[in-house]
Amino acid sequence: MPGPDLLSSQGLRLDGRRPNELRRIRCKLGVFTQPDGSAYLEQGNTKVLAAVYGPHQAAKSKMSTEGVVVNCQYSMATFSTGERKNRPRGDRKSQEMSLHLRQALSSAIKTELYPRSQIDIYIEVLQADGGAYCASVNAATLALIDAGVPLRAYACACTSSVAWCGSQPEPLLDVGHVEEAAGGVCLTVAALPSTGSIALLEMSHRLHMDYFEVVITRAMQGCRDIEVILDKAVREHLAEGWTKQDIVTI
């Protein structure tokens, strides 16, 4: 569990945020023209690109009559961390992250609308500074919306941890790299906030049941806050597209 050094005497974290404060999120839809949908997202210093191809006809070996097959590929640029990665894709961690992404995004996509089809989602982490999986889920959601794929709800992901403020536990929202490296518990939640359902829940270490509820409540609140930010970005992107269309028409 993180030590008290994660919070100052004023109750601020190492990067100056309050315990319940998200890192700054900046995002943009439609950054590429070749894919059917794309998005770029910054969550603090973590930077992610997402591209979506499809729905298109699936290969016979992958085809399903019940719904669309969601294929996710997660990779990290060789320069994304302080240490150069020898295998930016295809390693065990990347395969695990790809499976987790597929689980979260499949719960958001209306898969039953596209039988015998496939959707390919590619994630590239350009810079990793904590919460790479969460930023990937949030960027992929925007890319799916840009591709026009029908969703049940926004899929949003956020992390939370716990530090000590005196003798009381204080849950931390949107954990950064330094806080992750402190060796404490890190709870990752991927959810559909508007429906209240959880698509994925992962914990890095053991956590006493007395603290679990406050930590997961803080993470779910983060997912709801991120949903508001993503929804605003989508509406601004659509408004910008309509404005450009009106100019061309005139």
What's the gap between Cα 38 and its chain centre? 14
For residues 60 and 143, the model is more confident at: 143
What's the gap between Cα 8 and its chain centre? 28
> pLDDT tier at 65 (50, 70, 90 boundaries)?
confident
Is residue 11 situated within a structural domain? Answer: no
| The two three-digit tokens of residue 140, written as one number | 């992929």
Residue that the structure tokens 């919070």 belong to: 7
> pLDDT tier at 68 (50, 70, 90 boundaries)?
very high
Angle made by CA atoms 63, 125, 53, in degrees to the nearest 5: 30
Residue that the structure tokens 């210093």 belong to: 45
State yes or no: pLDDT of 5 exceeds 80: no
46-57/187-192 β-pairing: unpaired
Rounded Cα distance, 133 and 141, in Å: 12
pLDDT attached to residue 88: 57
Rounded Cα distance, 178 and 168, in Å: 22
For the chain, how many structural domains are there in total?
A: 1
pLDDT attached to residue 12: 85
Query: What does the buried/exposed string (b/e) look like for 172-191 if buried means 16 or more CB atoms within 10 Å of the residue's CB?
Result: bbbbbbebbebebbbbbbbb
Residue that the structure tokens 């950054």 belong to: 31
pTM for the full model? 0.91
| CA-to-CA separations, 74 to 20, 48, 77, 149, 244, in angstroms, rounded | 29, 10, 10, 20, 33
Is residue 8 situated within a structural domain? Answer: no
Rounded Cα distance, 184 and 74, in Å: 25
Structural domain boundaries, residue 34: 24-246
Encode pLDDT of 18-41 as tens digits: 999 999 999 999 999 999 999 999
Is residue 241 situated within a structural domain? Answer: yes
Alpha-carbon torsion (232, 238, 239, 241), positive or negative: positive
Is residue 61 situated within a structural domain? Answer: yes
Is residue 118 situated within a structural domain? Answer: yes
Rounded Cα distance, 30 and 220, in Å: 28
Is residue 72 situated within a structural domain? Answer: yes
Query: In CATH, what number is assigned to the domain containing residue 212?
Result: 3.30.230.70
pLDDT attached to residue 85: 61
**For 196, left (φ over 0), alpha (ψ -120 to 50), or beta?**
left
Encode pLDDT of 85-117 as tens digits: 665 566 888 999 999 999 999 999 999 999 999
| CA-to-CA separations, 197 to 92, 108, 189, 208, in angstroms, rounded | 28, 10, 10, 23
Is residue 14 situated within a structural domain? Answer: no
Amino acid at 92: R
117-127/187-192 β-pairing: unpaired
> pLDDT tier at 84 (50, 70, 90 boundaries)?
low
| CA-to-CA separations, 61 to 58, 69, 110, 119, in angstroms, rounded | 8, 11, 21, 15
